[in-house]
Structure 1
Amino acid sequence: MMDRHFQSADFDKTPPNLSAILPERLAHRGVEREEVRNAYSEERKHPVYFVDLPSHAISMTIGGLNPGGRSNRHRHTYETILYVLEGRGYSMIEDQRIEWEAGDAVYIPVWAWHHHVNADQAEPARYLACENAPMLQNMGRLAIREEA
């Protein structure tokens, strides 16, 4: 990673070629075997496991919804793509109900109010969430989340 921050007048200093810089960690094993971040999960009313890898542009979490459970209504300045690992339910994105089940992907646009519901009263739902929050954080604290 470069320690230098470029400005608009530095466009001519863009290097003509790149070298791969490998971080110390390239894998996070047993993501769901680790403890959830309790305060974060409790605030959101469902378990969230953080994938801890050194990406500067995207983040990944694995979320779960208990049978019949739902997340808080919220919005954020980063995009999210959910991939449903197991279960069935729906997401309310603004005023649209988007049904989902295992194998589906759902897009959450920037600043759209939304929440997720597990429609199954007996089985949990699990999903993988990919977000561009780190990129916005690295651009100057532009990743903002608001709960309803």
Structure 2
Amino acid sequence: MKTAFSSKDFHETFARPVYRKVEKLIHRRVESSLEHEQFSTERKHPVFFVDLPTRNVSMTIGGLLPGQLTNRHRHTYETVLYVIEGKGYTEIEGQRVEWEAGDAVYIPSWAWHRHQNMSETEPARYIACENAPQLQNLGVALREEEGRDL
């Protein structure tokens, strides 16, 4: 099977699903793993990557300390947050979307956003699913922190 195509090969690129065996099907004890230092430092809150060989979607577990407000940022990939603990809000392009455990929040591509834990005593945690790997594989994944150049 051909692995690289050029424009002259368009007639050869029809879908042919193929199962590809991967070595890793489970990531045990995700939150016991090390945090990704650069990512969590940049976001200023704990972020745990689910390390599985996906090509199109990613999953992370994010945490917000009591009262914590993250930096405003945006990215070319979509995000769906599922809140597993706590109460807070996500500001998306100036619109405040309040959430609590059990809620899911959609963050559109390239929307400025940030997250706030509204409790001064309890942490908040969420699972974030994104299509970042898909865009990274296409070479079009961008992420920007407010006040920084791309």
Q: Same fold per TM (> 0.5)?
A: yes
SS in 2 for 1:72: coil
Number of aligned pairs?
146
Query: TM-score, normalization: structure 1?
Result: 0.92
Residue matched to 2:52: 53
* Comparing 110-119 and 12-21, the one that deviates more: 12-21
User: Counterparts of 1:1-148 in structure 2 under 5 Å?
Assistant: 4-14=3-13, 17-140=16-139, 142-148=140-146
SS in 2 for 1:18: coil
Distance 1:40 1:16 in 2: 35
Do the aligned partners of 1:45 and 1:70 also contact (CA within 8 Å) in 2? no
Q: How far did 1:82 drift?
A: 0.5
Distance 1:122 1:53 in 2: 33
Q: How far did 1:8 drift?
A: 4.0
Report % sequence identity. Answer: 61
Question: Deviations 1:4-27 (Å, cap 9, x if unpaired)?
Answer: 133444232135643311201111
Distance 2:15 2:104 in 1: 37
Distance 1:112 1:12 in 2: 37
Query: TM-score, normalization: structure 2?
Result: 0.91
User: Quick one: structure 1 residues 66 and 18, their matched pair in 2 at CA, closer, same or farther if it must change by over 3 Å?
Assistant: same
Question: Deviations 1:6-62 (Å, cap 9, x if unpaired)?
Answer: 344423213564331120111111100112122321221100000111101111110
RMSD: 1.6
Q: How far did 1:71 drift?
A: 1.3
